[in-house]
Structure formats: structure tokens, C-alpha cells
Structure 1
Amino acid sequence: MALVKLPEVASVIRSKNSGPYELTLDVIFKNKEAFEAACRAQVINKSTIAKLYGISEDEVIGIIEFAPAHAIKATIVRPFPSGALGETDVYGAQQHAPLLNLEFELT
């Protein structure tokens, strides 16, 4: 069992708007084995996302595992609506960084 960082096993880690009040975080794994290992370990769950983003678990709207694409999607409430005063990332495209240091056991 090896401890790996998410970028080692994912080909895509990104964030984007999911409407003006939500952000979606996408992780697309390089292969079926890495995807299944991440799902078994529940690497991306409400508790982990809440801790990484400094929000409550109630602000994690959902986590979806999508096997055909080897992907996991998490949707959270945006801290500021897109384009609002004080908001710094209108497109939500720079919010994936906390996921880059996420580690888990690849079994």
C-alpha cells in the first residue's frame, strides 16, 4: 500500500462555476484502478472537502462518483457569488488548489 498525492493519480483536477452561487471541483483519474481505489478509500467526501475549504459540511452540496469517466465531482457553496464585490475568481477556475496536496493510500 503506497501513499500517493491526488495529482499523481489524476489527469485532471479543476474547479469551475456551477452557477453564480456554487463551485464544482472535478477530479478525473488516470485509470479505473486509481478511481476505484479513491472511491473505496472515500478520499473525496463531505468532511474532507469541508476541512480543505474551511467550510461546514452543510456547505458541501454533494459528492458524485461517475464511474464511466473515472471521475469524482464535489459541489460546494461559493464563499461569494460570482462577480460579487470582494469575489476574486469570477469563473471559479482557481479554486482547486487545496485538492493538490490531498493524500491517500492506493490499495
Structure 2
Amino acid sequence: MATKLKDVCHYIRSKVAGPFWVTIDLMFDSKESFEKYSNDPALSATSIAGVYRIDPASVSHYPVPNLNVLKISYPRRGSQGGVEERDLHSGQQYVYILDLELAG
């Protein structure tokens, strides 16, 4: 059975990072999990870009090792509050990556 992202994080959330950006916070359940999975190919810019259908070059990673947190930011496909907006606060965007399978 493959290890999924939701199995190694005690909390995962997404939020607005301005009118044009979304940030996902991955709060790993331990230092060991952070060290093992924060650089996993499933969390790479290419993988995240595939999930959210954006350019991989626009995905940024911000590791915070002392908190066992990885922040991933990417541009919204439309601006916040735009006519095609379905998640004004981006609070539901993390759901798409919960079941990513990690190589570890």
C-alpha cells in the first residue's frame, strides 16, 4: 500500500496568498516525515503543476524545517473574485493533493 500525503501530514491547508496566488501548507507529523517526504517527486513543481493545470515554472516551494512545514505556492488560474471564481478564499484547493502517492 502506497504512502499518501494525507498519511504523513497532521494538517494540510490551502489559502489565498493575494488575489493571484494560492499557498498550500503541508504540516508534516514529524521531523522524520518532513525530511523523508518534503522533496518527494510527487510534490515537485512538475507534479503540482499537473494537478492544478499551471506552468511548472510558476510553482514555488518554501521549506520551513524547524516547523516541519513545506509551503507550496502557485498562481491562481483566474484572479480572486473573478467571474469564474469557485473558491474565493482557496480554502478547498488542498483537497486535490491529499491522495498523492509518495515514493519516500
| TM-score, length of structure 1 as denominator length | 0.88
Q: Report 1:1-107 matches (<5 A).
A: 3-60=2-59, 62-106=60-104
- In structure 2, the residue corresponding to 1:96 is in which secondary structure? helix
Shift of the 40–18 alpha-carbon distance from structure 1 to 2, 3 Å rule, reads closer
Give the superposition deviation at 1:3.
Answer: 3.1
Report the secondary structure of 1:72's partner residue: strand
- 5+ unaligned residues in a row in structure 1: which ranges? none
Instruction: Check conservation: 1:10, 1:30, Cα contact below 8 A.
Output: yes
Residue identity opposite 2:51 in structure 1: L
Q: Which has the higher strand share?
A: 1
CA distance in 2, matches of 1:35, 1:41: 10
- For 2:4 and 2:11, locate their aligned partners in 1 and report how far apart those are by CA, in whole Å: 13
- Partner Cα separation in structure 1 for residue 58 and residue 43 of structure 2: 15
CA contact (8 A) 2:41 2:103 kept: no
CA contact (8 A) 1:4 1:103 kept: yes
Structure-1 separation of matches of 2:93 and 2:39? 25
Q: Look up the equivalent residue of 1:80 and give its one-letter code.
A: G
Summarize deviations over 1:67-91 as a string: whole Å, max 9, x none: 0110111110001111111111111
Q: Percent identity of the aligned residues?
A: 30
Task: Name the amino acid aligned to 1:94.
Answer: Q
Once the 2 structures are TM-superposed, how far is the Cα of residue 105 of structure 1 from its aligned partner?
2.9
Q: Distance in 1 between matches of 2:102 and 2:21?
A: 26
Unaligned runs of 5+ in 2: none
C-alpha RMSD over aligned residues: 1.5
- Cα distance in 2 for partners of 1:28, 1:47 equals 21
